[in-house]
Structures are given as C-alpha cells and as structure tokens.
C-alpha cells in the first residue's frame, strides 16, 4: 500500500429503485489522505484497498469513529459519529488512485473535490463520467431517477402533495452541495456541481458555470463558462458572453482565460486568452477567424488565424466598425475589477 491515497469521502447517498447511486453528498471530502487515516479505514471497515465504494452500517461507523480518533483525524472522526443518526444510506468512497471513475459515487466525489476547491479543474480524471451518471429529476422531494418520476408524482398527488421538479439533469446545482467561501451567486441553477468558484467570484444571474470549469480567484461572471474553461484571477466576463466548450462542436482547443482579462458583453472566444486581454463587446473570435494584427499606428502588419494568437497576453481584439475586419492590437489598459462590487463576497 502506498503512503498516500488520492481521496476519500464519507457521504449520504440516494439510490434508485434498482439500488444504483443517483448521487452522494460528501460534506467534507478529503484529498491526499495520510497513511494513518488509510490505516483507520482498513482496520475498521470492509475497505480492502483500491478504489472502492461501501455502504456503512452503524457498527462500521462506531468502529470508524474510534479508529479515526486514534489516527488523530478529529474532523472525519466526528463526521463518522454524526452520520450514525442518518436515516439515509451512508457511503464510504475511497479512491486510492485518480483513475477514471467507475460508478456515480466516485464521480460525485471527484466533482465535489473540485467544488470544495480541493482540486482545480482538469486535475481529476473524469473520463467516461457522463455514461455513469443517471439522468435525475432534482425535486422538492430530493433526487429521483427520471424513469421513476411519473410514479412518484402520482403517489405524491394521491397524498395531496405536488412534487416540484427543479431540473432534469445528470448534474445537480453546486450550491446544494457546497457554498465555498467568499462567493456571490445570483441564480444557483446556473452553476453545476463540479464548478470551481474562486474566492471573490460573483456570478450574476446571466452567468453560467459548467463542471470541471470555473474561476481561480476574484472574477465577475455575467457570461458563460463552458465545461473545461478556466478563468484566471481578476478577469471579467461581460453580460451574455460565451466561452466555447469542447463538449460539442467546439473543436479540440481547451480554452483558458488568463488574469485581468475582459470579455465584453455578448462577445465570445473560441481561442484561449493570455493575461490582460480585452475582447470588444459583440465580437466572437472563432479559432479560424482571420485577424489583422495592427501596429501602434493602426497599420496592418500581418494577418493570422486567431488560433495563432491563442494564449498570448496583452492583446485587444475588436471588429473594425468601418471595414468589419477583426483586428488585434496591443492592449494598453488592463481592467481592474470594481473593488466595491467584490468587497462584500
């Protein structure tokens, strides 16, 4: 057994009628778990090594509590003790290695590592996750397998209740799992579990953040952060702007936005931006767009495909309002986020 294991979590899970996991809520997932904690898991539960998902009964939780106390892991020991009172299945998910997930409990642990800011987007292996997750109705009576929803709706109605269905999706709202410190969010439905919101990030109502994507620091997000896109500290995504994802038809460039960038309202990027870049409102830069590179005197020095400028710093992109050509100049004025707006996160 190696000195450290990748991650583990004690959680509360929901199963469908076939006993498959729809979701697991891990209140305090752990990453880079120490040997002493691993020993506690091995000696007090049925965990035998590797990547494994177990359901714990009260006796397991009692033993785990004592072992974790002995190992000096007070936080997890207290959690184990508290979970003894759960009326819902208690799940222990251990990931010895950061391999592709093999069941929803593992996938949920990984998504929560990101949203708890224990792992940055792209640092956990999520290959094949879509196929594992079950399409779920997220309702006022909890998560329900969408195939079982109609039956549950009828049963509820027969007892005088209406099940409110908030969404039907493989991913739940991040905020129902964790609210990381120092953030503000206008509409929780716009942020999927697996998003990473940095300290100081505000996501306004039109903003959207997908899984395995997000901000690393302070940002104003009024546009869409697609799956896989990571935005650096101090960058501002203007109202309705778009960052192209790689999930469907967006090519294969994984888009990143550096620090102190401004993507104008209704603008969009299909290329990465370095630091201190600005994209004019309304301009969509696709990777193949021809861009006229201008000098100090606004003279064209060359014409390149936008992808050749991907990831470069200090660029200003605009569409010439007279000719319609996309132009790129040196960006002389990097934005500074409005301090007052971020002081109260």
Question: Shortest distance, CB of residue 262 to ligand COA, whole angstroms?
Answer: 6
Task: Kindly write out the interface string for residues 294-333 of this chain, putting x where it contacts ligand COA by CB under 6 A and - elsewhere.
Answer: ------------------------xxxx------------
Pairing of strands 278-279, 256-257: unpaired
- Which residue number, 82 or 290, has a Cβ lying nearer to ligand COA? 290
Question: Shortest distance, CB of residue 149 to ligand COA, whole angstroms?
Answer: 38
- Which residue number, 134 or 265, has a Cβ lying nearer to ligand COA? 265
Which of 23, 106, 206, 222 is flagged as catalytic?
Answer: 222
Q: Does 238 bind ligand COA (CB under 6 A)?
A: yes
Closest listed residue to residue 20, CA positions, set 108, 110, 126: 108
Q: Does 293 bind ligand COA (CB under 6 A)?
A: no
The answer to whether the CB of 183 falls within 8 A of the CB of 199 is yes
Q: Does 14 bind ligand COA (CB under 6 A)?
A: no
Q: How many residues bind ligand COA (CB under 6 A)?
A: 13
Q: Which range in 24-32, 81-89, 120-128, 277-285 contacts ligand COA by CB under 6 A? A: 277-285
Q: Does 280 bind ligand COA (CB under 6 A)?
A: yes
- Give residue number: closest CB to ligand COA: 238
> What residues have CB less than 8 Å from 242, skipping those under 6 apart?
223, 224, 226, 267, 268, 269, 284
Tokens found for residue 151: 């039956």
Tokens found for residue 165: 């269905």
34 among known catalytic residues: no
Which residues in the 251-270 window bind ligand COA by CB under 6 A? Answer: 262, 264-265
Local structure of residue 135 (DSSP, 8 states): P
Q: Does 239 bind ligand COA (CB under 6 A)?
A: yes
Tell me the C-alpha distance between 88 and 246, whole Å: 37
The answer to whether the CB of 41 falls within 8 A of the CB of 8 is yes
Question: What are 95-98's contacts with CB under 8 Å, separation 24+?
Answer: 95/5, 95/6, 95/7, 95/8, 95/51, 96/2, 96/5, 96/6, 96/49, 96/50, 96/51, 97/5, 97/6, 97/51, 98/6, 98/7, 98/124, 98/125
Question: Shortest distance, CB of residue 177 to ligand COA, whole angstroms?
Answer: 29
- Which residue number, 155 or 320, has a Cβ lying nearer to ligand COA? 320
- Which residue number, 143 or 238, has a Cβ lying nearer to ligand COA? 238
Q: Which of 153, 201, 278, 310 binds ligand COA (CB under 6 A)?
A: 278
> What residues have CB less than 8 Å from 18, skipping those under 6 apart?
none
- Which residue number, 13 or 268, has a Cβ lying nearer to ligand COA? 268
Q: Does 234 bind ligand COA (CB under 6 A)?
A: no
Question: Shortest distance, CB of residue 336 to ligand COA, whole angstroms?
Answer: 13
Tell me the C-alpha distance between 126 and 213, whole Å: 12
Task: Kindly write out the interface string for residues 184-223 of this chain, putting x where it contacts ligand COA by CB under 6 A and - elsewhere.
Answer: --------------------------------------x-
Dihedral of the CA atoms 229, 222, 282, 334 (nearest 10)? -80
Please give the positions annotated as active site. Answer: 222
Q: Return residues touching ligand COA (CB under 6 A).
A: 222, 238-239, 262, 264-265, 278, 280-281, 318-321
């Amino acid at each position: 057994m190696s000195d450290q294991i990748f991650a583990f979590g004690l959680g509360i899970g929901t199963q469908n009628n076939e006993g498959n996991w729809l979701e697991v809520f891990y209140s305090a997932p752990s990453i880079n778990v120490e040997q002493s904690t691993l020993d506690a898991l091995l000696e007090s539960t049925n965990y035998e090594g590797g990547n494994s998902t177990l359901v714990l009964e009260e006796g397991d939780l009692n033993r785990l509590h004592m072992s974790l106390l002995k190992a000096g892991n007070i936080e997890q020991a207290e959690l184990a003790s508290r979970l003894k009172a759960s009326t819902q299945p208690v799940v222990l998910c251990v990931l010895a290695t950061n391999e592709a997930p093999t069941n929803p409990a593992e996938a949920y642990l990984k998504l929560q590592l990101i949203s708890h800011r224990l792992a940055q987007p792209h640092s956990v292996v999520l290959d094949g996750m879509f196929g594992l997750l079950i399409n779920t109705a997220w309702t006022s009576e909890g998560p329900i397998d969408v195939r079982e929803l109609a039956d549950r709706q009828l049963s509820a109605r027969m007892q005088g209740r209406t099940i409110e269905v908030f969404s039907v999706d493989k991913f739940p709202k991040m905020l129902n799992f964790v609210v990381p410190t120092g953030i503000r969010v206008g509409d929780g439905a716009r942020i999927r579990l697996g998003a990473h919101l940095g300290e100081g990030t505000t996501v306004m109502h039109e903003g959207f953040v997908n899984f395995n994507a997000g901000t690393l620091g302070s940002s104003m997000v009024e546009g869409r952060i697609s799956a896989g896109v990571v935005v650096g500290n101090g960058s501002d995504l203007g109202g309705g702007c778009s960052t192209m994802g790689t999930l469907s038809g967006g090519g294969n460039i994984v888009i990143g936005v550096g620090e102190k960038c401004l993507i104008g309202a209704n603008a969009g990027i299909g290329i990465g931006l370095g630091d201190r870049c600005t994209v004019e409102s309304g301009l969509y830069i696709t990777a193949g767009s021809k861009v006229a590179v201008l000098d100090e005197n606004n003279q064209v020095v060359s014409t390149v495909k936008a992808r050749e400028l991907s990831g470069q710093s200090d660029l200003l992109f605009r569409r010439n309002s007279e000719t319609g050509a996309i132009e790129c100049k040196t960006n002389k004025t990097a934005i500074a986020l409005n301090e007052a707006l971020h002081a109260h996160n």
